[in-house]
Chain A
Amino acid sequence: MNATHGSLGAVYDRGYRPYEGVRGGRRAATFALYKATLRRALGLRRSWRQKVAPFVLLGIATIPAIVNVGIGYVTRNEIFSDRIEIITYREYVGVSSMLLLFVALVAPDVICPDRRQRVLPLMFARPLTGVDYVGAKFGAITTILFFFSFLPQVVLFVGSMLVSDSSFEYLTDHLDVIWKVTLAVAALSIYYAVIGLAIAATTDRRIVAGAAVIGLFLVTSITSAILVGDEEHYNDGSPAALINVLALPLQIRDLIFLGHIDPESSLSAVSNGGLYATGVYVAVLLLAAAVLLRRYRWVER
């Protein structure tokens, strides 16, 4: 260490120390980007304003579970033929579709600034490919969506179990809920994440991307409603219901929980409606993934 001494003190030149520790490759770089994206999306290491939206949404998503468990607790000594249940596990997956707002807010925030502020050349000068980049961003947003959808279900499940007459009996009676909720929430999270990121990848502007995400779901659901027709014909159902991309993961949810399309769904009277819903769901996923990967193809060119 060199030191330059002056009348007021000394300036130390600590020089440069080479790094001699372990060094990861592509996988480590991808995981690092995944962690950085998680932090950014949740507002960690950012101002409090950035933390408000994700955690308020998580709070709102958990309210029905808390209310349900609270009612169960208050009425635990009442004698009912059946317990009061304001929301079922299947319906709760539908509540998670409000996380679309989170996607509209966060997907552009984790994608657009990298392009707008031209950070991508710095990232791709690292041991990282375009596929790794897409994978890390997708993984992070899916993880958050999954846990934001899954945690309220855990609150509902554990709370209901604790206020039930027999916790063990509740657990054994509802074991199937565990895998059904996991699968349905995963289907919803993957779907929203990949669509949100694909739309965000097509523009540098966050506000445009956010509006486009909301717009896509609004326009397709309104178009679908118009095409399906008025209430009189509603019971007949229509394949036009498949246009509603917002409802597609909920059709998948119904297939997981009920084994068939919900009888109240506008797709219920369509023969092989479940199969069509699954096909369109997969097709939308693949299309969005293709758009996303194509946007970062230049890295390998």
Chain B
Amino acid sequence: MSWHTQYVVDQAPLLQIDGLTKRYGSVTALDGLNIEVPRGRIGLVGANGAGKTTTFRLLLGLAHPSEGRIEVCGVNVADDPIDVRSRLGYMPEHDCLPLDQSAADVVATFGELSGLPARAARQRASDILDLVGLDEARFRPISGFSTGMRQRTKLAQALVGDPELVLLDEPTAGLDPLGREEMLALIARLGTFGISVVMATHLLDDVQQVCDYVVMIDAGRLVEAGPTDSLLERTGLVTVDVGHRFDELLAGLARVSLAAVVTDGVVDVAMNAEADLDTLRDVIADLGLPLYRLSTRLTSLDEVFLRRAGVQA
């Protein structure tokens, strides 16, 4: 690859998808997708069967589009699927690890399969397993691992080849709340390592927590794509967290005619004018309440998805 081609590839969007359609017999899994996705942490969201896994297979060059074209990191998948795969890491949703081998052996082998020399692969396997929190368990057979440890091992094998982009298919599936938080924290860190992420999930909370760009698909069609912040709309509510003393706050707000409701331990206050914010501040100060959080309440991605998918239908 010449320096000019390399420069073009480096500056290219993460994904450039034009008119992508995939049919399996009479079933259309993807229907004319057009998206340009920047580098970063991308959430690919949709209900089960929306076409997320099919999209991953097409990105990896493991399936051919019925129509359309895909570029990953500036490389046309149809022209050079091997080059594309050498830039990617992939973490499938399903169980996919050889159970009779240790995590160190598995990750090192996949490092070698990614093109790393044997010694470098073993060294990187050790480093990456350390990074994902499996340093002490790395010589144990995977058959004895918990779901969370297996998910970490799957993430480690995706990272061992130092990819430009990792495709994560439902990375928090089957994890308990603590395991989920840890996995999301790990994924959030990948961006700081210069690794782009495409995370396919139907859990919009996960995307909202980790991703800076969202692609929503439903029944194989694009519903919405854009930066996460731009998709979240203001609701006209302000969320106030005053600990457990929300009864006092509700009474104070009623005295100044501000409508409020308690939701999940916080108070949502309706704002009709800019001056209402000052009024709210004064009520809290006058009552001497502790103020832990004061933020504009935005719509959740769930609400955005349901509304826009509903409009399309």
Contact = CB atoms under 8 A, between A and B. Distances in A.
Interface string A102-135: 0000000000011001110111111111000000
B64 A301 contact: yes
Interface string A19-61: 1011111101100110110000000011000000000000000
Interface of A: 14-19, 21-26, 28-29, 32-33, 35-36, 45-46, 113-114, 117-119, 121-129, 299, 301
Contact of B116 (A19, A124, A125): A19
Interface residues of B, number: 43
Interface stretch (B39-47, B67-75, B93-101, B268-276): B93-101
B95 A18 contact: no
24 contacts: A15-B193, A16-B127, A16-B131, A18-B194, A23-B86, A23-B114, A25-B82, A32-B109, A32-B112, A36-B112, A113-B98, A117-B96, A119-B96, A119-B97, A121-B96, A122-B96, A125-B60, A125-B88, A125-B167, A126-B86, A126-B115, A127-B83, A299-B62, A301-B64
B157 interface: yes
B115 A117 contact: no
Given A113-B100, A301-B62, 10 more contacts: A25-B82, A29-B115, A119-B96, A119-B97, A121-B90, A123-B113, A125-B90, A126-B85, A126-B115, A127-B82
Given A122-B90, A122-B96, A127-B85, A19 B124 contact: yes
The 6 closest A-B pairs by CB, nearest first: A32-B112, A125-B90, A19-B162, A16-B193, A24-B115, A126-B113
B92 interface: yes
B63 interface: yes
A19 B120 contact: yes
Nearest to A20: B162
A210 B112 CA distance: 29
B117 interface: yes
Contacts of A128: 85, 113
Contacts, number: 109
A32 to B, nearest CB: 4
Contact of A126 (B96, B110, B127): B110
B131 to A, nearest CB: 6
B97 A117 contact: yes
Interface in B5-56: none
Contacts of B86: 23, 25, 126-127
B130 interface: yes
A29 B117 CA distance: 10
A45 B105 contact: yes
A21 B121 CA distance: 11
A15 B81 CA distance: 30
A114 B101 CA distance: 12
Given A21-B117, A32-B113, A127-B85, A117 B193 contact: no
B147 to A, nearest CB: 15
B98 A119 contact: yes
Contact of A26 (B64, B82, B116, B193): B82
A21 B111 CA distance: 13
